[in-house]
Structure 1
């Protein structure tokens, strides 16, 4: 389940103050308050409300984390099919994924667990599309992007325990009040890039242009496919620090993973130790800007400016190497 669902329950069920939760997470109290309010709104959805009304479903991790991630990937793949949708009714034991064949006929494609369906809704990977007694849901643009991330994580199972996909499905531990400072999750959660791309400057133009967002997304996908651990590239201080990773890449038999690893290293080396750290934290580890500023000792709201500068350089790097590396992955 998304971590923000656990924070919501810690506040509403356990009665913990928002400021106390925010101190544990390492963010501003207003961030937790926004998540709580968004989740309150999401509880208007009967499926989400049913899952959160039975918090026992949120307490324990799945016995097989990889099985849960595979189930999410299969569900999103099915929902990507033309005329596919998810149906939910209080009378059904599980939400069903169906496909309309013609005006009067449908085909059952599969079913998914209630808590998984609720997690997809909270992440805005699927969204309601009407219905009264039977609710209909379809995959969103964010869901299609999430599917790409899950597929990349599947191809790097050795690093799956550190991937944001793993945290999304199971949280950070068996206690729902456990917190992860490195990864942002939850209902309505947007990555730092998506959030900044929605902001507008005085002239009405987006703070991050589409090419900058694309550059950050490309690095994130390469990073996931390469299978880096959370701390593998954090804090590197020179070419010598990257040498072992280059050597490992050249010895790999998996050509796709090796190519992704080399592309990531080349991009990070081009950025340099300073700019690369903010890009790694915000784009690859999905760390929030507030947490990044706090970790690096920066003043408030300075992170977005540094991140934009880093993404501009990253975009230029990909522009120079585009003919060699080809188009974006996925």
Structure 2
């Protein structure tokens, strides 16, 4: 559905998620394959191959697409290597290739990270910013506040892969390039969300996995609007004096918890019951020597334990599971319109928790 599979024809020695048009372009420019030869391999007309190659030549005005094609060109198997391409020789570069680049991105990594980043980029005012020579790209949201809010961080190599897939497009090229989600990116995100819900419902056991965790054993999570989280919608409400009901510092605290929660889901295939950390002692502190998803899981445990029952419940539902306030109130047996008050108190307590961590309490990255 997402077009991640391998197409026939085109350059060999590049990852399976690379679009067919990019494979044709690399085969023509890096291997010197003729248009007619590529057309015979692909089973289509030469004019179709030419059109696809020209499309990617034009897209090289995009800095991350240009960089991705340049780096992938270092991994293209030389034309002289005849015979079938084995798994052992598929990714052997024919000249000095940079390490840790877009060619090292796996299909599973791309799908998992795309679900996280594209969802953030659908929020109002969100863009992905990447600077020249930087190893990370950052999703920031400008929602009228004095300072833009950083909502996610992703490896540059993954961002380049998303640009090559056409899921994000460049608004303003330059030393600090800004990207927006494209129509193809929204379609890909919709497919990812639908696949995740199907797997959680048990209807997609035979399909390819959506992420690294075992969705089939996880409890079903409700569908929500990909455009924004319940916290963002609530933050736009104002009191009688015109002040925001949830100020920016509390929004950042909720986003910090959500980011750790999302990172914790990228670990081993285990089913996690977060509610038990609302009352049980926090076993892991703030991560210790743990790394990656394990460290993120321990940070979530510490935050939920600090909030305790009630406050931790509403924070977990609204910030992490993106559950609406009305549904959360109904499930927890609270009176109508009481959830927003409890949520604001929970965010105030959560902000105090992160303030107590010092520099470690900021956003990831």
Q: Shorter-chain TM-score: which interval?
A: 0.3 to 0.5
Tell me which of the two structures has the higher relative contact order, counting C-alpha pairs closer than 8 angstroms and 6 or more residues apart: 1
Q: Given the two structures, how large is their TM-score scaled by the length of structure 2? A: 0.44
Q: Given the two structures, how large is their TM-score scaled by the length of structure 1? A: 0.47
Whose helix fraction is larger, Structure 1's or Structure 2's?
A: 1
